[in-house]
Chain A
Amino acid sequence: MNAHLYISGITSSAIAVPALRLLLIVVAFWIVLGLAGLVRPCSLRVVAHLLFPLGAAGCLSVALVAGVFLAANRMSEVMILPLGLPSLPFHLRLDTLSAFFLLLLGIAGTGISTFAAGYFRSGVGTAPALLCLQYHVFLASMAIVILADDAYLFMVAWETMALSSYFLVTSQHRIPEIRRAGFLYLLMAHLGAICILLCFGVMQGGSWQFTFDAMRGASLTPFWASAAFLLALVGFGAKAGLVPMHAWLPEAHPAAPSPVSAMMSGIMLKTAVYGMLRISFDLLHVRFWQWGALMLAMGLFSALYGAIFAAVQTDMKRLLAYSSIENIGIIFTGIGLALLFETCHLPLFAALALSAALIHSLNHSLFKSLLFLATGSVLHATNQRSLGKLGGLIRRMPWVATLALVGTLAIAGLPPLNGFVSEWLLLQSFLFTPQLPHAFLNMLVPLGAAALALIVALSAYVMVKFYGVIFLGQPREASLGHAHDANWLERLGLGWLAFGCIAIGIQPQIVLRAAGAVTGRVLGGAAVSLRSSIWTIVPIAPGQASYSGLILLLGIVGVVGITFVLVRFLAHGRMRRTDPWDCGYPWQTPRMQDTAEGLGQPIRHMFGAFFRMERELPSPSDVNPRYRIHIEDRLWRALYLPMARGVQRLADMAGLLQGGRLAIYLLYSFLTLIVLLVFVL
């Protein structure tokens, strides 16, 4: 079926409208929108009611164009823009891989922009128009990163993305912690960008041509190819938040306004995934199984690390940030597995693993954006970010609670929602690792499957905590009684994302086909991935495993319906309202509920080696007991602080050069001149 589509795509491309041009028009439109706000910089009404909804429309059209491009499986389009430096025009290219990530950007962006229209209210910190400008520049630069076809444009867009998001993160720049978080983010973004720049420098392979086409043609020795791969892994890993380059994520996400967190976590992290895929599967002409193994190990470790740390957080946005690290880990696990299969000449399995990674990227952009936006609504309603001061919001904010429930179920990997599909596909592809031709690898990698199962279970646990503490139980603070539900634009944005979660869960065939269009091109065309119908998806063979979201949904609805009918009409017959059994406790206060710390305690106990804890336990006779626990990342002390100290020491040593005497400074340049002249000699 896919092969058929592939052929029909070639014939239809001749008469089709150039999708790339449409996408560029939308990008230009975003930038115009951003600038338009500057006409009246402090008018919130223009920004909220006109510019952001228009931006959402732009996102929707990007999603449509990319979706049509993928569905038709068109040939890639290229374009040269006469912008930039005189002899270095900008090259652009739209192929199935970039179309898939543009689809992701469009779908998630539509929801986030709609929500943002209702979210940004009384301007605290940055003026609304500036927020609008940075927001739309951020969107446009991400689209250009995905479309870029030369290293020059890629880096320009990449840095624009980093800078605009930095300004968005620090929009409340009067708070010192937020400035600090912003600085850490900018630092990590730049370290990553340097690695990516070096990676491109290696990949041009002596030709000094920086178009991606030239890099595809360059032939590198295994050593230099590996160097390029490692640089890309560090560079893109720093952006994606792969452990140990993750330190900025849990700081920057809580600092940013919620739509920005959603955008960064939902879309920006995926541009790093895109870059990694572009370099390892497209630009580099050789691949080695060691790369896949390394990526697999790092991905699994990140996922486990993120899940464990998410379980012990008490700030809802930090919790989600760690959960992002976990999901990025899962995506990189999938890519690593795909690399392993591909280098061992098992293209069918590689396509399966890669599809899982791609679909998980899309899924994560949906449910993580949804949850970040929901925390934004909670934050607006209560001014509380700490889980210890929330609770019982399901009664006050029924819309947000219901829609967030969809997100939590999806991220926990429960069928029939979308999170299950990708995680199931990834587990399926793990099941084929015994066919790997390396002796130790095929024994060790199945352990990864076990780790993945653990991670998925932990993330479900995290989500129980997240949802239970915020929305269920009794309000922990009296002020929560005044909490109000989200406004209609916010509901619309949340609803769009929740709809996406459900739709992909029930009809995963659609995204599977889109992912198939990508893997078909990336893995050499022959590897048509999945045989599926409207009812079921079948990864490899019908005898082995198949999944049908639709049938499952019908089953769930049927069982619930039958139970309801039976209980309502047969068992009871009539209703009786009474207090529930209170287990012998006549009254319950909010303090008697399980807290966020309490829910994290078992994990803290089991995985104690990961944390650095400081605890203050009150004595039993204390009249006003205060329990305090502070949990720190071990890597922060083990890796980051020594590095910072080293840099400081080096800087101090360099400071010795600055003696203050002019003659000495002149001597420096004189000696440099002499040394260079001797070198010439």
Chain B
Amino acid sequence: MTMIDALLSSVEQLFSLATLVSMMIGVMAGVVAAAIPGFTITMAIVLTLPVTFTMPPLQGVATMLAVYVGGGSGGLISAALLGIPGTPSAVATTFDAYPMARKGEPGRALALGIWASFFGALISAVVLIVAAPPLAMIAVKLGPWEYFSLILFAVTVVASLVGKSILKGLMMSLLGLFVATVGQDPMMGVPRFTFGVDVLAAGIPFLVVLIGIFAVSQLASEVENPTALQRGESLVSGKLHFRPLAVMREVLSRPGNLLRSSMLGVVIGAVPGAGGSIANLIAYDQAKRASKTPERFGTGIADGVVASESGNSATAGGGLIPMIALGIPGSAVDAVLMAALMVQGVSVGPRLIMDSADLVYGMFLAMFLAAGMVLAFCLISMRWFLRITEIPKSIIVPVVLVCCAVGALALNNRITDLYLLIGVGLVGYLLAKLDYPLAPLVLGVILGPIAETNLRRALMADEDWTLFFTRPISAGLLILAVLSVVFTVRRLLQQRKIART
């Protein structure tokens, strides 16, 4: 299939009525979900996944991308109007958007964030289109040695970026890799660790693990505190006035900030494990350093809102780069997207861009389309945003739990999957309470079979295991893996020292 054919085919699939409608619903769901404190973007995407099973691959992925991009903007709403980040990606947005809203300009704060998100998503989509194909060309040439080392690197980076203890992070990654070995072995088809249980014969269902870890256990933590259950007093009163075009000019008059924050978002999004929750803080920090008036940051200035919101939205495109080019998800959300493609029978890896060019181009286009839809939806519905943040948790939590049950049942319609979901949710909740980060577990589960297959292929091609250390790219990746652990240990030790004194 030539490039033009693929592009035309993807346009045809994407601009069908069904896809446009499902994307629009996805955008709305993403914005609304991220606006509700306690409902994360990952949760929204995980729960969208079962709905997409019956759709053709591109429509399914485009719908999930729409939720993702919508979620990137939604967190801003509660950040600006309540001073509470709707998602972890909007923490830095509260620094300036909330003071701005309290000073009587809630409309301007929202519009600034919406436009900054839009341009951030746009810039990241451009970088994705430019960077992913050449990276995939290189990745196809990598041997199993390089691939195994790359996964090792990804695992250590994830473990070192999230959580308080690298030991616990690494232990969770390994646990994920182990969970993935349950079921049939990828080369010989021998059943492993199934203990004669039918449900385990095909492996532990990944979707159920995802929903259990990212939704059920998270929801349980949401209802822990009885006094915090009542939310809903809006801290910003009064009407929202906004002039979208004037604010757009205001955002575009800060090209340096916008570009820097977006590029930071792209790069951070592309690193496995780091995502919007880190990008918004770093983008804000860098904008403050580069500013001529750093002392005004935190008082409600436009630069702060633009930096945080363009930074967190740009991670969406960034995270797709390693997923499309290498078949290695950049974040938990990308792992879910990858799982969606795998359920559809699409094999994800560096050959994806060659074998399913129409799908990949469709994903690129869907990113642009979703960014535009989010912009339109947010600008039209901004007046009702205050209402969304007023929904109490006593309604959200049980409704989303029922959605989790639907999600677990949708794949195989087995009631045992529901029991497994509860088990995983409970274990996930206790693990989170013991300070174990959950994202490395999920990435471990999805990377496990790829790691094992490549390790065994490498040793089949040549029994000499020193090749992992003597092939230059593989050696380089292993060195990076070791460095990421060493630096994290050093950082944690320093933090502990400071905490003691």
A, B bound: no
